[in-house]
Structure 1
Amino acid sequence: MKNKIAFFDIDGTLIGFNGIDLIMPESTKMSIKKFREAGNLAFICSGRQIRFILERFGQDMFDGYISCNGTHIMFQGKTIYEKFISKDMLLLLKNSFDKFGVSCCFNNGYKGYSHNMDSDRIKKYNAQFKGEPYLIADWSIDEIIVNSLDIFYKNEAVLAKCIEHFKESLIFNFHNDDLSADVSLKSFGKADAIEYIVDYLNIPIQNTYAFGDGYNDIEMIKRVNTGIAMGNAVENLKKVADYITSNIFEDGIEKAMKAYNLI
């Protein structure tokens, strides 16, 4: 059995925008390398799709990947768990977003399905991926397999309506500077995926750590033994974290891992 296991969100935690591109600090790369060399396990735990994760990080930097906000889990290169959104729920979401004037894309690990997205938004979304476009515009609900989604809203008032309408079933990890949000299921999210992999690998909960910065990281941070919020995290996450480290570009992950003698 491995010694410890750590889970890392991506955006705002592992990588950040430096004004030109999304980059991963060298101190973060080295800290994860040292952590794994000591016999520990490092997992990504993100709302991002597995296609993006593998294109950005490859197969060798981490031991496993929790993607699509918990609904897809890979370990040692193999998918060991996947959860999909029902057709009835997809239809409900589509109709509700139409009512609110919200555009969206329904995702799985390798393909996305755009709905009422304008051409500039589609181009920007596809630019995150290498090779062929990620988004498909011509589709029907009966044909698609989906385990996560993103929405794009006109203003914060529209987002507030979505949050209120789906308060019992969805978590909106919103990015108001971009008027977008990745959306996760309350019925099965990052925290549930962590619990699944910890049970799968028979690792004691006291040996678990998580690093995050967003609203969809709150339950993850609460579920592990030691939850660490980045200095750039939202305030709601900082309130439930066991430790608040410095910002992503101020060696936040390295400092936190040293604080807990993980490296």
Structure 2
Amino acid sequence: MKKAVFFDIDGTLVDCLNGIKDITPRVKKAIHALQENGDYVFIATGRPYAFLNEALRNFGFDGFVLTNGAYVKVKEKCIYKEFINKDFINDIVGNFEKYNIQYILQGEPYSYIKDEHKKLHSFYDSFGISKKYLEGNYSLENLDIYKIEMLCDDKKGIDYFLSIVNDEYDYIHDEEHGFFELYSKRNTKASGILKVLDFLDIPIENSYAFGDGKNDIEMLSTVGCGIAMGNASDYVKKYAKKVTDTVHNDGVALEIENFILK
């Protein structure tokens, strides 16, 4: 029976802020070995397509669970998508301008960010995000948006942002950088993974996921075997069935070689 293995990016396959900007050779070899074995490999990420570097796009993954499960592809086929309500987008974007909140609207394949949002551009530059799929000129009413990210260190702006979070939307707040992510509660990495498994007719006990962050918890606890990275927090690790070594010590490769392929 074929297996399906899902990989988070940041802190799992790469660690851009700490010098690992591409998948290491050993991890590449291990992932390709899964495919040679007849198994499927997928990226499962909060990132939109625009935030995948060329190495990830061209690696040969069998598909992508993007923007926390709001857009899902198997090979070149989109099997699921759900964009954020357009009236809601129109309302909040107007207020983002009012409160000087810099923002990016994440679509497929492009994401949309104004040229004048210099601080946010600089933030993405630090992660090595290419501008190939970033658009500065766009018409809001023509866009399908799956997730929004914002930069705001002003109290009025932060208070406004927190006021729009409700039963339908969830968020992540990086207080150190004044960075926010806003996305639908209906979609998660786990819900996207379940859609892939259903599409490929793979039983959940034959599914695996690697992750390190809080937004990986649901997928780690949903798949047949969730594997936390050694660099994950203890809080995240308790939701996984196994814990491997760190991203810097090729933790993904170790678990593939010694467990999944055995």
Please indicate the TM-score interval, normalised by the length of the shorter structure. Answer: 0.7 to 0.9
Instruction: Identify the residue that residue 134 of structure 1 maps to in structure 2.
Output: 134
Q: How far did 1:183 drift?
A: 3.6
**Maintained 8 Å contact 1:16/1:24:** no
**Maintained 8 Å contact 2:31/2:256:** no
Measured in 1, the distance between the counterparts of 2:212 and 2:92 equals 26
Instruction: Identify the residue that residue 90 of structure 1 maps to in structure 2.
Output: 89
In the TM superposition, what whole-angstrom CA distance separates every residue of 1:120-173 from its partner, at most 9, and x where no partner exists?
322553661254x6042x555423221112122328998798568626333434
Measured in 1, the distance between the counterparts of 2:245 and 2:83 equals 36
**Maintained 8 Å contact 2:45/2:65:** yes
Measured in 2, the distance between the counterparts of 1:160 and 1:233 equals 30
Gapped regions of structure 2 (runs ≥ 5):
none
Which amino acid in the other structure matches residue 134 of structure 1?
L
Which amino acid in the other structure matches residue 105 of structure 1?
I
Instruction: Identify the residue that residue 9 of structure 2 maps to in structure 1.
Output: 10
Measured in 2, the distance between the counterparts of 1:160 and 1:214 equals 25
Q: How far did 1:57 drift?
A: 1.8
TM-score between both structures, scaled by the size of structure 2: 0.83
Measured in 2, the distance between the counterparts of 1:125 and 1:84 equals 23
Is residue 191 from structure 1 mapped to residue 185 from structure 2 by the alignment?
A: no
Which amino acid in the other structure matches residue 16 of structure 2?
F
Measured in 2, the distance between the counterparts of 1:9 and 1:156 equals 32
Pair 21,15 (structure 1): closer, same or farther in 2 beyond 3 Å:
closer
Instruction: Identify the residue that residue 150 of structure 1 maps to in structure 2.
Output: 149
Which amino acid in the other structure matches residue 27 of structure 2?
T
Measured in 1, the distance between the counterparts of 2:95 and 2:164 equals 9
Gapped regions of structure 1 (runs ≥ 5):
none
Which amino acid in the other structure matches residue 128 of structure 1?
I
Measured in 1, the distance between the counterparts of 2:213 and 2:238 equals 12
SS at match of 1:23: coil
RMSD: 3.0
Which amino acid in the other structure matches residue 213 of structure 1?
D
**Which shifted more, 93-102 or 116-125?**
93-102
The within-5 A match list for 1:87-126 is 87-91=86-90, 93-94=92-93, 102-114=101-113, 118-125=117-124
Instruction: Identify the residue that residue 228 of structure 1 maps to in structure 2.
Output: 227
**Maintained 8 Å contact 2:244/2:255:** yes
Measured in 2, the distance between the counterparts of 1:207 and 1:45 equals 16
Q: How far did 1:7 drift?
A: 0.5
Aligned pairs, number: 260
Measured in 1, the distance between the counterparts of 2:77 and 2:53 equals 12
Q: How far did 1:31 drift?
A: 1.0
Pair 141,219 (structure 1): closer, same or farther in 2 beyond 3 Å:
same
Measured in 2, the distance between the counterparts of 1:218 and 1:47 equals 13
